[in-house]
Structure formats: C-alpha cells, structure tokens
C-alpha cells in the first residue's frame, strides 16, 4: 500500500536580471520565471529497499521522482526511457540474485539517483533532511553504500540525525517507509527552505576573497588558470581547492567570504554559507541555456550575482566535460570594476 501526501504547493519563482547584459539575456531566459511544482511524501508499507538503494516498487510517481525526470534537459524522452529501463532491470536482477534480507520496522528515504554529487547532496538533499527531521523524529535515514563518503557523513553528523548504510549484497524489508520527494526542481530552490540549512553554518564573516580552482578536477578546467591566478593575487584572492577540504572547513571558508569567483562547478554550491549581499562571479560556459543553477541559488540567497562568459577549447565535448578559457583582459577589467565600486561604497 502507498499513500501520497502533498507537503508543498506549486510556487512561481521570479528572478531579476541585475548584472545580466542584454546580449546574454537568452542564456537566463528559462529561469527568469520558474514553477517549483508540488512536492509530496509517500508512505509505503511492507516494502523492500534493494541493495543499491532502490525501492522495490513499480509506482510511476516514486520512480520518476527518484530518477529526477522533471530535472532532465536535452533528449528528455530518450533519457527517460533509458533511465526507466535501467531501474526496472536492476530491480528484477536484485530480487533474483540477492537473497540475504534484513527486516526492520521504519526508515526514511531522502536520496535519489543524483544525491552522490556535492551540489545535489548539499542543496537538494540536506534541505529534505532538515524539513523531515522536524516532523518525524526518531526514525533512521537509510542510505545506499555509494553515499558512504566523508562529506555526507560529516553533514549528517552536523545536522544530528540517525542514519545507517545498506550492507553490500543485502536487501532490506521494512514495515513502514517514508519516501521524501523533491522539494523543488534541482537547481531552482525555494528560498525559504534554504534558511534552516544556512543556519548550520559557522558564521565567521571576514570579507575574504576566494577563487575556487578546478585544477584538481578531471574535467571542466580553466586552461589559462595560472594566468588568471596572477591577476587574482593582485586583488588578494585566496586560491581554494574545495574538494580537498572537509565539509566543516568548506563552511568555515565560505562563511568568511565576501567575494567568490569560480568556473561553473560544485564548489560554488558553498555560497549557501555566505552572508546576504556578498558577491559571486561565475565563469559561465558559453551558449549553454541549462547551467543556471548558481544564478538561481544566488538570487534565492540574496547574493549579488555576476558572470563572465568563458569559451570552450574542446569543441566536440559537452559543456559538462569541456575545458574552458577566459579572456584575461576582460577578467581583469571585471575585477577592476568590482573593486572600484566597492571602494566607492566605502
């Protein structure tokens, strides 16, 4: 038996285009106004959670939410078919080949197929945990083994919730399961749901200047980053490799920052810890209409958003995997403008 309960109504979010050049308006067009859709939780009885965290159900609402169908962009129908078929095949195979079963009473599921990413965990999943924690106390979160990584463990301990990871080669049978659906489309948050998340940060505001390097990443790097760093050092920017920091250290670093600059990537998620009216300069991939999550996040947090378009230098790679180059003269002019305005305010 499955009971579906609406917890949040559809909401229209409107965003302004401050700092957006007229020639670039088309890049942000689809996010100027966006509906959140309704949000639901599902109550399931006597169901299995399979070895990889999937719910042993063919309920189309739960499957489409778990697979993130409403967040897909480009080739949507093909992606839906492939994801759905993969989900069903894995359910069938795990039921056939995995026979070890633990029986437990209750659990809550807050993850989905994207939760392993730092962006999705921090901005999509943690708000679910904080939301549900107030309503259902004393029930453990169940998590698949692929989420057993340091930043996830650290964040869960910081929020102070009970959790456990699925053992390998084991299916779990539960009397009662609560599945929490998306609270909003990924990358388009409801601002009021970010407020409780922001409060777990250690506010340590010192007006620092941070540049997020992707030099340690295997994809989407800045080919001329070394030249940009020389410019940044003139303006007293700290060069940060966010993947090398603990969850707590990322909170401390970004809650102390007034200015953050970075190429589109998960490290920018950390602006969630920054103070209102701080400043984000995103080095934004050219021509991509779908990479507006940090524009949306900055607007929700009341952080000043600015951008500089960067060019692909791997033409046949997607925006997700290509490396980029930034015009160094335009970059320095942008910094000059930012700090000239800052000096006027002071």
Residues of the chain with pLDDT under 70: 202-203, 316, 341, 343-346
118, two tokens: 């730092």
**Residue 55 Cα distances to 45, 59, 63, 187, 312, angstroms:** 12, 9, 8, 25, 40
Are 281 and 295 contacting, i.e. CB atoms less than 8 angstroms apart?
Answer: no
Contact by Cβ (8 Å): 146, 117:
no
Question: What is the SS3 string spanning 187-213?
Answer: CCCCHHHHHHHHCCCCCCCCCEEEEEC
Rounded to two decimals, the pTM is 0.93
* Distance separating alpha carbons of residues 126 and 297, to the nearest angstrom: 15
Angle at 322 between CA 273 and CA 20, to 5 degrees: 55
**Angle, in degrees to the nearest 10, between helices 126-135 and 191-198:** 80
pLDDT at site 319: 73
Model confidence pLDDT, tens digit, residues 84-119? 999 999 999 999 999 899 999 999 999 999 999 999
> Could you give the 3-state DSSP secondary structure of residue 11?
coil
Residues 204 and 192: their CA atoms lie apart, in Å, by 22
Pairing of strands 304-312, 324-325: antiparallel
């Amino acid at each position: 038996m499955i009971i579906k309960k609406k917890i949040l109504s559809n909401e229209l979010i409107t965003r302004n285009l401050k700092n957006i050049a007229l020639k670039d308006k088309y890049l942000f067009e689809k996010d100027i106004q966006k509906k959140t859709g309704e949000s639901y939780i599902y109550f399931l009885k006597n169901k299995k959670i399979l070895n990889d965290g999937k719910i042993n159900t063919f309920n189309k609402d739960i499957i489409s939410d778990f697979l993130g169908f409403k967040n897909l962009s480009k080739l949507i129908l093909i992606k839906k078919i492939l994801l759905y078929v993969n989900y069903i095949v894995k359910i069938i195979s795990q039921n056939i080949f995995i026979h070890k079963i633990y029986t437990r009473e209750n659990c809550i599921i807050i993850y989905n197929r994207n939760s392993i990413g730092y962006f999705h965990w921090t901005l999509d999943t943690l708000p679910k945990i904080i939301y549900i924690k107030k309503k259902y106390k004393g029930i453990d979160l169940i998590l698949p083994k692929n989420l057993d990584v340091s930043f996830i463990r650290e964040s869960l301990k910081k929020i102070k919730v009970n959790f456990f990871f699925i053992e390998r080669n084991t299916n779990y049978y539960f009397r009662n399961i609560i599945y929490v659906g998306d609270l909003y489309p990924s990358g388009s948050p409801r601002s009021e749901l970010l407020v409780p998340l922001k409060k777990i940060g250690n506010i340590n505001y010192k007006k620092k200047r941070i540049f997020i390097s992707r030099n340690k990443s295997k994809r989407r790097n800045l080919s001329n980053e070394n030249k940009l760093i020389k410019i940044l050092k003139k303006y007293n920017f700290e060069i940060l490799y966010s993947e090398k920091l603990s969850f707590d250290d990322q909170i401390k670093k970004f809650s102390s920052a007034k200015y953050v600059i970075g190429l589109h990537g998960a490290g920018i998620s950390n602006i969630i810890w920054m103070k209102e009216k701080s400043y984000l300069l995103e080095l934004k991939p050219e021509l991509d209409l779908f990479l507006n999550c940090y524009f949306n996040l900055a607007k929700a947090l009341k952080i000043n958003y600015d951008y500089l378009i960067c060019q692909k230098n791997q033409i046949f790679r997607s925006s997700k995997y290509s490396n980029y180059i930034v015009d160094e003269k335009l970059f320095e002019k942008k910094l000059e403008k930012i700090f000239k305005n800052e000096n006027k305010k002071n």
